[in-house]
Structure 1
Amino acid sequence: MLLNIPHLCNRPLVLSANRVWRSYLGGSLLDAIEGKPGGEDGHYPEDWIGSAVEAVNPREHARAGEGISSVELDGTHHRLDELYRAEPEYFFGRGHVERFGAQPEFLVKFIDSAERLHFQCHPTKAFSRERLDSPYGKFEAYYVLALRPGQETGEVYVGFQWPPEREALKRMIEEQDITGLTACFDPLSVKPGDVVIVPGGTPHALGAGVLLVEILEPSDWVVRFEYARGGYVLPEKDRFMGRGLDFGLDVFDLAPRSLDEVRARNVCQPQMMAADGRCRRERLIGEAQTDCFQVWKISWHGECRREVKSFCIAIVLKGACRLGGPGGWTATLKQYDRVLIPHGIGQLSLQTEDECELLECYPPQSAPETESLLS
């Protein structure tokens, strides 16, 4: 039985900002997206979208429930994780719930970097199951939205192009030899529209001045092997997931990765999956890249309709549109607005005067290719 909350049933949920404290600086572009005048960079450079995941932060910056999204329904705020648990089949469908439970099985974020992020590495799912007693590692993907004004290209550091031996890496981390650590990488240039995947075990960092959508496994596991960013030094317990440096080093894949290999293995090319008159859908990340989530893009002008057979978090990449659901529900969305589309609504209508694009993020084992698209 659906929750007795007016207007919850049979409509998407438009999501508001959900900013999260992080140890690096950024966020002025997110302020602009939210319509805040005079945006400034600070320690809230991320916006967690449709999240049922609680952020893990140093004790002095920890807030209960930080990272978990909420929605306002008839003047009352409801935590999304509680709504998910109350109505799991409505949000996710029976098959998803039987396999994964009452949560999306992935996390979506906006990230706005004023500076290069910490050099870091995340565990694989296998490592987490064996060593962290967790079902999740942290496979992540980036969709580049924009660069800061005056910046022609962005950078992402993906894997060691010049990997040190384990003991040499340990020494550089202990001594915080940032020059030496930086020399292990050749940064990859990125531009708006690029899609990059970062599997668990890959040492990496996002460069300065990049606004992107990050899609990842629903965890906050991280080995930060650079301790200080944004004028803040991470406490020892927050560097290696509450363990020691030797444990943290076990997370690393130290295989050399040339930039040519990174471009071939980690930069994803879109695959056209459907085109019908004024509408088209592309798969950006699918099962060939990961079993953790899928990422698609829909582009259209005029009016089209699509079936809904899976939970989805969608973000307006370009243009503006009117989104319609059952019962005459509509919402007008502009660039960078985000919306949660429950499994149970059945169908959406999409209307725009000019071309509009939506980024669509799906759980694993969903089948967006079976959702018919009609113009």
Structure 2
Amino acid sequence: MTAPIFLPSNQPADRFYRGGEKIRAFRGTAASGERVPEDWVGSTTTLFGEPVLGLSEVSTGRLLRDEISADPASWLGPEHLARYGADTMVLVKLLDAGQRLPVHLHPEQDFAAEHLGRRHGKAEAWYILEGGSVHLGFNRAVSAEELRSWVDCQEVEAMLAAMHRVDVRPGDSVYVPPGCPHAIGSGIFLVEVQEPEDLSILLEWKDFAIEGTTQGHLGLGFDTALQATDTRALSTADLDALVVRGGTGDSTLAAAAGPYFRAERTDVAGTAVLDPGFSVLVVLDGAGTLTTADGAWPLAAGDTVLLPFSAGELQVAGTLSLMRCRPPRA
């Protein structure tokens, strides 16, 4: 097993928010419909509470999760395996916000371990393909009592008014630390890189196709779940440290994302060499060729390519822009 694997779309249906046509336009063959707003790329993660839904297939009937378990050294490499075991450490998604997402947050690792028995929390980062506005963190300190009142009464306007609103453009990235309340604005299309878990705590669900009182707290009840919320005020400096404007290479994402995952934008005009390592390659624009010791494959915008460690050094030639999403450094 050394060849790159070109992944088809993997879109869980009937999600609780609208979107999906931008993914279809980008991918060419993705699912159509109002409630397919996510494409889970190179996924060894299931949707919360589901046994299989969300997992990527590397070919008909063969799950990536099972293939990695059977031969983790070839897929992940010896250094990764020594430090992290057979855990890929990363999940990649394409996300098309056909409407503003509800205000929500994701727990950090210790909370997820204590209350849910999970290895990971859910830090995430967004690389913006089509821009708009996002809400990120509180602009003032919020008491636990005030937060609970907003949630119980679904006081959405008060919630949004207490949050930072940030305009984002194509090429920007936003790192969202665990615990940080956030909402992606309508019309935004992005590549999301995250810890490999599906753990969301909803602060808002009014007018969405989900019953938050039963499905918004990961089965923990809001008394426990809301303890995962970072209710501190984010300063302007704090906010600036999370948002990278037009970054490339090692500076594509905020430095704080490094312990969780990596994502590197590379613009190729001619030839570029990619070092060995398990990763997901998203072709953002243009066309070219991917070459390994085993052969050459055409690349085009919308392709998502799974690169095993054993593929070795890779050469990309052409005129194109790439996003390479990877685990943290071993």
TM over 0.5: yes
**Matched letter for residue 164 of structure 1:** V
Distance verdict in 2 for CA 1:113–1:262, change over 3 Å? farther
In structure 1, what is the equivalent of residue 7 of structure 2?
Answer: 15
In structure 2, what is the equivalent of residue 313 of structure 1?
Answer: 280
- CA shift, 1:228, in A, is 3.2
Q: How does the TM-score come out when normalised to structure 1?
A: 0.82
Distance, in Å, in 2 between the alignment partners of 1:242 and 1:119 is 18
Q: Matched residue of 2:162: which SS? A: coil
In structure 2, what is the equivalent of residue 350 of structure 1?
Answer: 316
**Matched letter for residue 284 of structure 1:** T
**Structure with more relative contact order (C-alpha pairs < 8 Å, separation 6 or more):** 2
In structure 2, what is the equivalent of residue 339 of structure 1?
Answer: 305
- CA shift, 1:234, in A, is 2.0
The size of the alignment, in residue pairs, is 329
Aligned partner (choices 207, 230, 247) of residue 185 of structure 2: 207
In structure 2, what is the equivalent of residue 369 of structure 1?
Answer: none
Distance, in Å, in 2 between the alignment partners of 1:246 and 1:288 is 29
Distance, in Å, in 1 between the alignment partners of 2:29 and 2:329 is 38
Distance, in Å, in 2 between the alignment partners of 1:112 and 1:283 is 24
**Matched letter for residue 41 of structure 2:** I
Distance verdict in 2 for CA 1:269–1:233, change over 3 Å? closer
Task: State percent identity of aligned pairs.
Answer: 30
Distance verdict in 2 for CA 1:67–1:245, change over 3 Å? same
Q: Matched residue of 1:187: which SS? A: strand
**Matched letter for residue 69 of structure 1:** S
Distance, in Å, in 2 between the alignment partners of 1:41 and 1:54 is 21
Structure 2 portions without partners, runs of 5+ = none
Q: Residue deviations 1:28-75, cap 9 Å, x none? A: 1112223259x8552210000000000126xxxx6x411100122xxx
Q: How does the TM-score come out when normalised to structure 2?
A: 0.93
For the pair shown, which has the larger CA radius of gyration, 1 or 2? 1
Q: Are positions 1:42 and 2:34 aligned together?
A: yes
In structure 2, what is the equivalent of residue 70 of structure 1?
Answer: 57
Aligned partner (choices 158, 163, 166) of residue 144 of structure 2: 166
Displacement over 4 Å in runs of 4+:
269-272
In structure 2, what is the equivalent of residue 266 of structure 1?
Answer: 242
In structure 2, what is the equivalent of residue 295 of structure 1?
Answer: 263
**What does 1:1-375 align with in structure 2 at a 5 Å threshold?**
9-21=1-13, 22-35=15-28, 41-56=33-48, 64-72=51-59, 76-147=60-131, 154-230=132-208, 232-234=209-211, 236-258=213-235, 260-268=236-244, 281-285=249-253, 288-308=256-276, 310-327=277-294, 329-352=295-318, 355-366=319-330
- CA shift, 1:95, in A, is 2.4
**Matched letter for residue 106 of structure 2:** H
Q: Matched residue of 1:285: which SS? A: coil
- CA shift, 1:304, in A, is 3.4
**Matched letter for residue 201 of structure 1:** G
Q: Residue deviations 1:289-339, cap 9 Å, x none? A: 43111111222212333331x211111122111111122x22212112111
Does structure 1 conserve the Cα–Cα contact (< 8 Å) formed by 2:172 and 2:246? no
Does structure 1 conserve the Cα–Cα contact (< 8 Å) formed by 2:174 and 2:253? no
- CA shift, 1:222, in A, is 1.2
Distance verdict in 2 for CA 1:208–1:270, change over 3 Å? closer
Distance verdict in 2 for CA 1:263–1:164, change over 3 Å? closer
Aligned CA-pair RMSD: 2.1
